[in-house]
Structure 1
Amino acid sequence: MPLINIAQEPSDSIQKAKKTPPEIEKIYLHTDNNYYTVGESLWYKAYSVYAYTNQLFDHSKILYVELLSPESKIISRNITNLEGGLGHGDFILADSLGIKPGTYQLRAYTNWMRNYGDDFVFKKEIQIITPNKENVILSKENDNTKTVSKSKKDYSKVEDPAAFLIDFFPEGGSLVEEVISNVAFKATDFFGNPIDIKGTVYNSNDKPITLFKSIHDGMGKFILLPEKNQKYYAIVITPDNDEIKINLPEVQKTGYTLSMNSVDNKKVVSIKTNTATLTQNPDADLTLICTTRGITYFEGSQTLKDTKLSFILPEENFPEGIVQITLYDKLSRPQSERLVYIEKNNAINVSLSTDKKQYAPKEKINLSLSAKDKQGNPLIANFSIAATDTNGITENFDHKQNICSYFLMASDIKGKVHNPNYYFNYSNPARLFHLDLLLLTQGWRDFVWKNFPNLNENQNFKVEKGISITGKVENLFGTTAKENNQVQMTLLNNKATAMLNDTTDVNGKFAFNNIDFKGTATMLLNTTNQKGKNSGEIVLDSIYNQPIAVDFKAYKPLNEEENKITQIKTSIRNKNILFNIPEENQLRDVIITAKKKKDDTTESRYGFADFTYIPEENRTRPSNIFILLQIAIPNLTATANSVRFNRYNGPALILVDGIETDINLLSSISTDDIAKIEAIKGPGAAVFGSQGANGALIIYTKLGKGSATSKKVFHSIAMPINGYQNTRFFYSPDYSQLNPLEKDKADIRNTLYWNPYIQPDEKGNTTISYYNNEVDTTVNIDLEGITNNGIPIVVKSSYQIKK
């Protein structure tokens, strides 16, 4: 078996395929569950990795996580902070979001990922149910009828053949005359679900050539030796015993094919051609490039003197994952391609163990995690873990996607992979053979890395290293830019104050980049000219990028999935009946908020006020605003000529509903319209810059409109803005301590424990403790994570709760 020699002088075209890889991110979300009821919380852990190595990637800091409804609308969006490639967050699935039963999609992406289309956007479907109501599948396309658009293919006997999608894929890309080839096929229904088919292949003379039958998820393959001047078609028999005629791809007169076979546990790759091709191209120089996730790990060149050349693929050169083998001719034109999966023994040992296999209701569980390599050295890794009530269903490991199947396979193949974990379940003996079928069909010439040489081009979307507040200062009249204006920004958030300055450029633009804060903050912007006078108009940009286009369609779940939903509904309903409780008395998520320390100040939109006055509704008020101010605010002198704090000589800054107001306009405000008055006269007034040097008086009106004659201030902006999601801690009850607030609430939680950040100690071990709910049930423990060198890890365990 001849081996290909290493190329010494690869062509310019091939060098292009090997240029510096772009900084591509991949995102995976581990969620605490796949099934939720209305009112519960969905918890997630985000893993962002460098796409070529699967190692945690400290690149983007902002992750957009969105929840899409069955009607294909974004109903909630989180701005999740990524640090070192890790982040976490949650959605409260409340009625206020318009949550109804149905199939929803969770998706996640960074702004930087938009440079590469939607190839790397993470998507996951979840089910939301209402246990006390009938579930309604919220989809217009929720039946199994064959009412779909006509296909361009040549079918017979079926009036609406487009109800099925059946495709044939020659190995390597093309059929070539007199070159024996594998032809793979895949069959799905209109909703993308696999269907079993069988059939017969015929030539142009209507002579039967070979039989075929699907063997896994609608996929299979057969051998075909194309004859000269022949065309081929298949008669396919569907599950309904309908017959469909489908033409096979055209047979080429000349060309090359790539094929792969396993021989003695080694992958043998063969280059094949016919005599006509050799005659046209004697002593053809061919080059083979083998890449994994866009990185070249093997390259070879060989002069083809015969119709077949084989070599052993050096698997030791490659990391685990999909290998793209591409054959180029002497003009560097791709001639054939084959995808191959290489599996590695990563020599690691991660295990979960509980101190018991059966527990009493509300009993404490101690869970031990061990993460070591084969030599017993501790693993450096980061994990997330969920413990959930199965609610009577037996979750098939093969069905749902996890961090292994996503990073190693599914993220590198376009389209949805049915039962992705099947190919990573060691209990499935034929899994690698069936994975090869998947690569021959769904992965066939549709591999996301195919455009790798061009990925560095047209990078219009910038990497976000933090929250950016940008805009432009224009002349008040017209839209010409004001250059060299000073822009001051103050952010007030949870007693913290940030003050930043920038100078506008020749285009009037300013930018405050890489800001980090959580929750809602008050932003104050003010601009002055070179003489320190308020000047110009601030035009603010959008702080966050708009969502990408929605392509989600909530199709009807398969019967097996519908059966699970029905079982979960029944289980939760039975728990309610068993514990004789209405739904509102269930122990659910508890939102923990810190209690503020009492002091002499009260929280204001602009930080903390030194004094706050709220008029009593039924008390008579002075008709004069200045008399009211003197009564309301201590140590303030207020007349029609001056409003100032006694400690200062100059006038106070006056804001009415966020708009700067002078004393003349202040006099027009009716005292009956005032809702609240705040005084900031100490160091806190520094948030207003030089304008607050003599303190600030802040007035809020009932309608929030200020004076009808208030002048609009163009040189400043005061507004609330949202930072990163203010993440919550998962609440887990402690039954060793009696909590009066919980003693009358039944504990029928579906998620018993969630922890997005678990790291082994210096010995590779850690212990986790939590308390069970009070239901007789089975609890599944699901751990996912990734090592520092990019090995994704999934470990599952379970135990019983029984009275």
Structure 2
Amino acid sequence: MNHIMKIKIILTIILFSNICIYGQQTGLIRIDFDQPFDTTLMLEKVYLHTDRLNYLSGEDIWYKTYLVNAENNILTSHSNNLYVELISPSKEIIQRQNIQIFEGKGNGDFHLEDSLISGTYYLRAYTNWMRNFEEYIFYKTINIISSLNNVNDSLVYQPTYYNAGIDLQFFPEGGSLLDQVSSTVAFKAINTEGNDIGVSGYIISSENDTILPFESTHFGMGKFSFTPQKELSYYARGKTEEDYIFSIPLPKIFASGICISIPYVYDNHIIVCINTNPESLPTFIGKEFIIKSTCNKLISNTRITIKSLSDTLIIPIFEMPMGIAKITLNTMNELPLNERLVFIPKFQDVKLNITSDSINYSIRSKVNLEINLEGDYEGEANANISLTVIDQLISENANKYASNIASYFLLESEVFGHIEQSGYYFDPDNEDRLDKLDLLLMTQGWRDFKWKYSADAALSFTFPVENEFSIIERLRLYTDSIINPPPNVNINTSSHNLLNKALIDDIQNEAYYRNMIKAHYGLNDTIMLEEFEKVANKIIVKPKDEHVRIYGTPKKSDTYEMTGNEFGYTNLIEFLRGRFAGLQIIGREPNIIIQIRGPKSLSESSEPLWLLDGMPVGRDRIYDFPVEEVDKIEILKSGAELAMFGVRGGSGVISILSKQAGYGLKKLEKTISNKHLGNNDYFKQRQFYSPKYDHSEPENKTPDLRTTIHWEPYIYLDENNKVSVSFYNADKSTTIEVRAEGLTESGIPIIGKTTYRVR
């Protein structure tokens, strides 16, 4: 049936005449993409495909880089220099490489010294231009296991049993609950370790009536629908999967306003419902607003007039690229009011199909792979992929659905904060993945983004685009070894990245055997073409605690000393969630509730007194204070501790002690290479060693101990979207895992996986 779509693209409308606005503040507007697109305003994203996630010291990390235009995920030549860093568990840059990017592609490798300790390490990648938009800087977590020392406890996943509480938050679709209007409410629950946790229970009214049951259905998330009444308040009462009992209030109900819902997202259009109530309708009838629909570029900039209690809109999506669309309501003076995220489901069945010529092989036998593009890809051609073939023993990870090129470009780089098992939403075998993805966007998807700029001044940027290796490249890149992560980095240290002890023991036993054989035969895994020159060193020593306090020393359980591993927190308030017993943080700004048990009853709403280096400050100052500049946090709860603060300390005290006040910003010793930096200073990649056993060679008489059996960073599909790859197995009987990731010419991320057995 043909439909004439007369309605222009319109998305999220959220306005309340008597509430705080959750969007950007006055003076911030989006880039006007209606004008010719200026290349200097192009946003870049980068992704690193590594051969695996778990390594032994003494091995090599192989990686392929994909640099794309954030608008459409198409490979770009906007920048030609990419900086890739290996960062230690203590946040020290161990190695830094400058990779030359050609047509959006590059590759490199890190050799891991035998002296590296076991722990969680990080890869960081960025262009100089990306430093203007720090939320797009790429981070990846890897595990390194040393055969020379015991495994750091921080690397081993140890199940924790506790009943210290949860952080359960509710997200009404459209922003808020509106009196007498049916609302869908999404929720998300995490435990004190920051991991998802299942919950179930009932919604109870203030008259003690049971309204409806609720239960999480996916990674601690779920949703329910009900019609609220402004005369009542509502609570969620229930328990976690570990039997922790909770009672948490739902958000406030507003008497007037407009709320929206998006019940369906189809292949070619979105259904948007806009509802208000009789009390609000006289306020909004005839008023105009601006609706902006963006997918990293402006798709629509349209005026809308409110006409009735309920309107249904059909939004065509043929102009929208695959990925997340941000739908924003603005006032006529360009003030953004609110935002709803939806996923545009194009090319969802496109994937790489990998088949081997057998499922069982002997050691050192030849393997022939056929790789082809499958699905509705509309004649896509010229796909570029990278391929890794690894021993499954060392590739095993607690996260079944680890991050990949599709989940990063289409989700993780747009929705900031840790996303549990992000690969789940892009595995075609998960039939419910799109419904679960929309649930994620309804909860974790309420975000502000840095591509909204000031309307009062011309745009200016600190870091220029780099197209060659220049001495102008900031000195900081060569001297800083203590990293202050950007405020929205996507680093996760949850249990999903950790390894079980049995697996670590197996890997260490394997390492012990390999080291014996390598020492006997003088073996190496790679052919060295040219050594990488280290150009900077730094040593930092933290002096003793020199903080001046006007109160006594709190109990150890009420003190937290920063370790330097506090990645991924957007602000101090988020960092404090679940950090101290008795400290409750409920909701989000501007409706957040912060209370300390003990000093006053939880029925009282007074917030603790905030101290920054001994000086009373407002919560907004704490909210803006960088997490990486904090040295210690101390909670004061007892009467003796609070007596000197008088009435102001009646609800407890949270004391933030900064690094600068504690031991100063010491000058650090550096050694800097002052030589001219020309094009010859790009990192010289090494060649992956892949032996051929079809004829006799002297080196073939030595044991083959490869863990990464094959690594090929540049594979191009032919005109039929197929390609053949061949290599030889090593000497170990094991299960081999084959993984491929890449991009099509039009920016569709593609992934594929298979396994076979060596006997």
- Return the TM-score normalized by structure 2: 0.70
Give the count of matched residue pairs.
590
Alignment of 1:45-444 (within 5 A): 45-96=64-115, 99-116=116-133, 118-130=134-146, 134-138=150-154, 144=160, 161=165, 164-262=166-264, 267-293=270-296, 295-330=297-332, 332-345=334-347, 350-371=352-373, 379-391=381-393, 398-444=400-446
Aligned with 1:775: secondary structure? Answer: coil
Q: Distance in 2 between matches of 1:786 and 1:375?
A: 12
C-alpha displacement at 1:292, in angstroms?
A: 1.4
C-alpha displacement at 1:792, in angstroms?
A: 1.2
Match of 2:17 in 1: none
Q: Deviations over 1:441-495 (max 9, x none)?
A: 1112x1536737879833111111111125xxxxxxxxxxxxxxxxxxxxxxxxx
Alignment of 1:511-550 (within 5 A): 549-550=484-485
Q: Does 1:733 align with 2:691?
A: yes
Q: Structure 1 residues 39, 175: closer, same or farther in 2, change over 3 A?
A: same
Q: Does 1:776 align with 2:733?
A: yes
Instruction: Work out whether residues 340 and 436 of structure 1, in 8 Å CA contact, stay in contact via their aligned partners in 2.
Output: yes
Q: Percent identity?
A: 34
Instruction: Work out whether residues 88 and 727 of structure 1, in 8 Å CA contact, stay in contact via their aligned partners in 2.
Output: yes
Match of 2:706 in 1: 749
Q: Structure 1 residues 7, 469: closer, same or farther in 2, change over 3 A?
A: closer
Instruction: Work out whether residues 285 and 305 of structure 2, in 8 Å CA contact, stay in contact via their aligned partners in 1.
Output: no
Q: Structure 1 residues 334, 249: closer, same or farther in 2, change over 3 A?
A: farther
Q: Distance in 1 between matches of 2:375 and 2:156?
A: 51
Match of 2:632 in 1: none
Match of 1:573 in 2: 509
C-alpha displacement at 1:188, in angstroms?
A: 1.3
Aligned with 2:169: secondary structure? Answer: strand
Q: Distance in 2 between matches of 1:115 and 1:578?
A: 45
C-alpha displacement at 1:593, in angstroms?
A: 3.8
Instruction: Work out whether residues 40 and 93 of structure 1, in 8 Å CA contact, stay in contact via their aligned partners in 2.
Output: yes
Q: Distance in 2 between matches of 1:720 and 1:316?
A: 47
Amino acid at match of 2:119: G
Instruction: Work out whether residues 588 and 749 of structure 1, in 8 Å CA contact, stay in contact via their aligned partners in 2.
Output: no
Q: Distance in 2 between matches of 1:187 and 1:282?
A: 38
Instruction: Work out whether residues 202 and 209 of structure 1, in 8 Å CA contact, stay in contact via their aligned partners in 2.
Output: yes
Q: Distance in 1 between matches of 2:376 and 2:177?
A: 46
Amino acid at match of 1:269: V
C-alpha displacement at 1:130, in angstroms?
A: 3.4
Q: Distance in 2 between matches of 1:39 and 1:742?
A: 21
Q: Structure 1 residues 737, 188: closer, same or farther in 2, change over 3 A?
A: same
Q: Structure 1 residues 18, 257: closer, same or farther in 2, change over 3 A?
A: farther
Q: Distance in 2 between matches of 1:119 and 1:4?
A: 37
Q: Distance in 2 between matches of 1:290 and 1:764?
A: 34
Q: Structure 1 residues 719, 192: closer, same or farther in 2, change over 3 A?
A: same
Q: Structure 1 residues 260, 576: closer, same or farther in 2, change over 3 A?
A: same
Q: Distance in 2 between matches of 1:425 and 1:6?
A: 33
Q: Does 1:562 align with 2:579?
A: no
Match of 2:556 in 1: none
C-alpha displacement at 1:181, in angstroms?
A: 0.9
C-alpha displacement at 1:410, in angstroms?
A: 1.4
- Return the TM-score normalized by structure 1: 0.66
Cα root mean square deviation, aligned: 3.8
Q: Structure 1 residues 263, 135: closer, same or farther in 2, change over 3 A?
A: closer
Instruction: Work out whether residues 238 and 247 of structure 2, in 8 Å CA contact, stay in contact via their aligned partners in 1.
Output: yes
Match of 2:48 in 1: 29
Amino acid at match of 1:384: S
C-alpha displacement at 1:763, in angstroms?
A: 5.1
Amino acid at match of 1:723: D
Match of 2:600 in 1: none
Instruction: Work out whether residues 397 and 499 of structure 2, in 8 Å CA contact, stay in contact via their aligned partners in 1.
Output: no
Aligned with 2:86: secondary structure? Answer: strand
Q: Distance in 1 between matches of 2:700 and 2:316?
A: 61
Match of 2:601 in 1: none
Q: Distance in 2 between matches of 1:561 and 1:138?
A: 8
Q: Distance in 2 between matches of 1:772 and 1:728?
A: 21
Aligned with 2:413: secondary structure? Answer: helix
Q: Distance in 2 between matches of 1:451 and 1:718?
A: 39
Aligned with 1:193: secondary structure? Answer: coil
Unpaired runs of at least 5, structure 2: 11-26, 532-673
Q: Distance in 2 between matches of 1:594 and 1:417?
A: 39
Q: Structure 1 residues 337, 53: closer, same or farther in 2, change over 3 A?
A: same
C-alpha displacement at 1:243, in angstroms?
A: 2.4
Instruction: Work out whether residues 377 and 763 of structure 1, in 8 Å CA contact, stay in contact via their aligned partners in 2.
Output: no
Q: Distance in 2 between matches of 1:246 and 1:583?
A: 61
Match of 2:20 in 1: none
Which of 571, 574, 589 is equivalent to 2:525? 589
Q: Deviations over 1:694-747 (max 9, x none)?
A: xxxxxxxxxxxxxxxxxxxxxxx8789982212111111222343434523x22
Match of 2:539 in 1: none
Q: Distance in 1 between matches of 2:309 and 2:63?
A: 54
Amino acid at match of 2:279: A
Of residues 433-442 and 232-241 in structure 1, the stretch that sits farther from structure 2 once superposed is 232-241
C-alpha displacement at 1:582, in angstroms?
A: 6.9
Q: Distance in 2 between matches of 1:351 and 1:559?
A: 27
Instruction: Work out whether residues 299 and 319 of structure 2, in 8 Å CA contact, stay in contact via their aligned partners in 1.
Output: yes
Q: Distance in 1 between matches of 2:491 and 2:383?
A: 36
Amino acid at match of 1:37: L
Q: Does 1:794 align with 2:751?
A: yes
Match of 1:38 in 2: 57
Unpaired runs of at least 5, structure 1: 147-157, 471-512, 514-539, 596-716
Amino acid at match of 1:284: K
C-alpha displacement at 1:363, in angstroms?
A: 1.0
Amino acid at match of 2:506: T
Amino acid at match of 2:688: F
C-alpha displacement at 1:556, in angstroms?
A: 6.2
Q: Distance in 2 between matches of 1:2 and 1:376?
A: 25
Q: Distance in 2 between matches of 1:174 and 1:191?
A: 28
Q: Structure 1 residues 546, 264: closer, same or farther in 2, change over 3 A?
A: closer
Q: Structure 1 residues 719, 223: closer, same or farther in 2, change over 3 A?
A: closer
Q: Deviations over 1:543-586 (max 9, x none)?
A: 858576237899765279423x6326416626866998477658
Q: Distance in 2 between matches of 1:327 and 1:718?
A: 53
Q: Distance in 1 between matches of 2:256 and 2:85?
A: 50
Q: Structure 1 residues 396, 459: closer, same or farther in 2, change over 3 A?
A: same
Amino acid at match of 2:152: V
Amino acid at match of 2:68: V
Q: Deviations over 1:123-154 (max 9, x none)?
A: 111111235764223489988477xxxxxxxx
Aligned with 2:194: secondary structure? Answer: coil
Q: Distance in 2 between matches of 1:773 and 1:752?
A: 7
Aligned with 1:305: secondary structure? Answer: coil
Amino acid at match of 2:693: Y
Q: Structure 1 residues 351, 282: closer, same or farther in 2, change over 3 A?
A: closer
C-alpha displacement at 1:352, in angstroms?
A: 2.7
Q: Distance in 1 between matches of 2:143 and 2:271?
A: 44
Q: Structure 1 residues 739, 132: closer, same or farther in 2, change over 3 A?
A: farther
Q: Structure 1 residues 318, 456: closer, same or farther in 2, change over 3 A?
A: farther
Q: Structure 1 residues 5, 355: closer, same or farther in 2, change over 3 A?
A: closer
